[in-house]
Amino acid sequence: MSGRVGDLSPKQEETLKLFREKVSDILPQIEDDDHNLLRWLRARSFNLEKAESMLRNHVNFCKEWNIEYIRNEWKAPEVLEKYMIGGLFGEDKEGRPVYYEAYGRIDCKGIIYSSTQADIMKNELRTCEAILQRFREQTEKHGRRIDDLTMILDLDQVGLGHLWMPFLNVYFEVLNQFEANYPETLKRCIVINAPSMVSVGYNLFKPFLSVDTRSKVKFCGGNYQSKLLEFINPDQLPKHYGGTAVHDGDPKCSAKIRSGGKVPKSYYLKEQHLSGSSNLKKVTVGYGAKLELPFEVTEPSSGLRWEFQTEKDDIGFGVYRKETSPDGKSKLVEVVATSRFSCHMVPESGVMECDQVGTYVAVFDNSFSWVKSKKLHYSVDILPPDTQSTSDP
C-alpha cells in the first residue's frame, strides 16, 4: 500500500483516524484533509508518535518564522531576487510541477557576503510555499490531487568553490528545514551534468537527506535529454534542456528559472556595521562554552530582539524559555532553534514574539568548537508589545 488516499491498508486507515484525533487541536492551523495528514504519516512510516511530534514541530516552526507573512507579504532583498538560483517551469507528464536549480551558476561567496542567513532562509521558505501553491493550482487544473514535484538539479560548472563551507552550512540548514517541514513533496530529483567530483559533494549532503529522499535522486551525465523527455513533454521542457519551450524568446526561460551569476561587490554587506552598534556589548565566548543571557518578559506579545556579529568564525544562536516541570525542576524549552551563523561575514539580526510571560534565555553557543574562542559583539533586548514588530522575524 502506498499510504495515500484510496490506497491504505486497514492498519493505515486506523492510524490515520487516531492521528486526526491526536492532532485535533492544531487542525485549524494546517491544511485539514486526509491527503495532507497522510504526508506526515508517510514521512514517519506511520509511526503515530513520531508523526505527531513532526507535525507539532512544524506548526511551531511556521509560527516562529511567520510563514503566512513570508508567503504573502515578505519582499526578498534585491540581491536574492537577482542572483539566487531556481524556479518553477511547466509540468511533467503526470501534471506535477517541475522545479529547476542550476547549482553550478550560484556565486556562493557573493550570496553569503551580501545576505543575512535569515533572509536566505526566508527566501527558500517563500519558494517552498510557492511550490505548495502550485500543487493546489495543478490539482485544480487536472481534477486530481497533485502534491509532489519533479526536480531537475543542474550541476554544470560546479567546482570546488561550490563546496565552500560557510555557504554549505546555510544550504544544509535549508535542507534540514525542507525535510522537517515539507515532507513527501518530492517525487524525483534528476541530477544532470554531474561532474566526476560529484560524489564528494553528495557525501556532504547525504546526512541531511532522509533515506526516502535519497532513493528519489537519480544521476545523469551530459547526455541527459532523453532521460528528461521520459518524464517531461517537449513543450513543457525548456529548449536549453532538450525540449521546445521558450519564454520571451529565451531558451533558458530565465524569467521563470533564476540562473544566478556573479554578485557585484556593491551588494556586499561585509563592511556594514550592526544597526545597534552604539549599544553593542563585547564578550569572548570561550571554546567549548556557551553564553546564556536571561530576560524577564512581563507582558504577553512582547518582542525579543537580537543582533550580533563575531570578529572571526561562526557561532551558534538560539532562544529558550524557562519552564517548571511537575516535579518542580526548571528546564529550558527551545523556542528558536539553535543554528550556526557565519556572522563574521555578515551581521545577523532578528526578532520573535514572546507569547507567554516568563524567563527567556538567549544562548550564544560555541560548544562545537574545541580550539577557538569567539569575540562576539551583540545586542539583545525586550521590546514592549506596542512597539515591537513580529511580521518580519
What's the pLDDT band for 390 if we cut at 50, 70, 90? very low
Nearest to 258 by CA among 80, 113, 117: 80
With a pLDDT cut of 70, the percent of the chain lying above it is: 93
- Dihedrals phi, psi of 281, to nearest 5 degrees: -105, 150
Q: What is the pTM of this model?
A: 0.76
Quote the pLDDT of residue 208. Answer: 72
Of residues 173 and 185, the one with the higher pLDDT is: 185
In this predicted structure, the answer to whether residue 263 has a pLDDT above a threshold of 50 is: yes
pLDDT at 225: 94
Give the residue with greater pLDDT, 303 vs 43.
43
What is the pLDDT at residue 277?
47
Q: What is the pLDDT of residues 48-99, one digit of tens each?
A: 999 999 999 999 999 989 999 999 999 999 999 999 999 999 999 999 999 9
Backbone angles phi, psi at 258, to 5 degrees: -65, 135
Give the model confidence (pLDDT) of 20-31 as tens digits. 999 999 999 998
Residue-wise pLDDT for 140-160, tens only, equals 999 999 999 999 999 998 887
Buried b (16+ CB within 10 A) or exposed e, 333-350: eebbbbbbbbbbbbbbbb
Would you state the pLDDT for residue 212?
A: 86
Q: What are phi and psi of 23, to 5 degrees?
A: -105, 20
Query: Across all residues in the chain, what is the average pLDDT?
Result: 90
In this prediction, residue 393 has a pLDDT band, given cuts at 50, 70 and 90, of very low
pLDDT value of residue 254: 94
Domains in the chain with CATH codes: 10-65 (1.10.8), 74-267 (3.40.525.10), 277-383 (2.60.120.680)
Return the sign of the alpha-carbon dihedral for residues 215, 171, 87, 229. negative
The model's confidence at residue 167, banded by pLDDT at 50, 70 and 90, is confident
What does the buried/exposed string (b/e) look like for 290-319 if buried means 16 or more CB atoms within 10 Å of the residue's CB?
A: ebeeebebeeebbbbbbbbbbeebbbbbbb
Judged against a pLDDT cut of 70, whether residue 274 lies above it is answered with no
Sole residue written with cell 524525483: 188
How does pLDDT run across 319-360, given as a tens digit for each residue?
A: 999 998 888 888 999 999 898 988 887 788 888 888 899 999
- The runs of H, that is alpha helices, within 86-223 are 108-114, 117-142, 165-181, 198-205, 211-215
Residue 279 pLDDT exceeds 80: no
Between CA 185 and CA 252 the distance in angstroms is 25
